[in-house]
Amino acid sequence: MGIEPDQHREPPRLPRALLKVWPIIAVAAMAWLVAAVAAFVVPSLAPWRPVTLAGLATGLLGTSIFVWQLAAVRRGARGAQSGLETHVAPK
């Protein structure tokens, strides 16, 4: 009684709360910022300074690429990443 091997089963949709990207970006950025401040304030965490700065830079780069792709979806560019339509506010 299972699904036939040639049939594809569609996975269930994720809840809307899990599709919101900005809260995740904000929490991750705050975590890296707290870690960076701790690395510069607590002397025993000094070896972690380059790691925390790299984490902040990587997050900034990733967020910039995400925002760039959102702008491309908004203007209807053919090369825009697909699947971001759910993050674009309706006009």
DSSP the chain: ----TTPPPPPPPPPHHHH--HHHHHHHHHHHHHHHHHHHHSGGGGGGHHHHHHHHHHHHHHHHHHHHHHHHHHHT-TTSPTT-GGGSPP-
pTM: 0.70
pLDDT digits (tens, 9 = 90+) for 16-58: 777 788 888 999 999 999 999 999 999 999 999 999 999 999 9
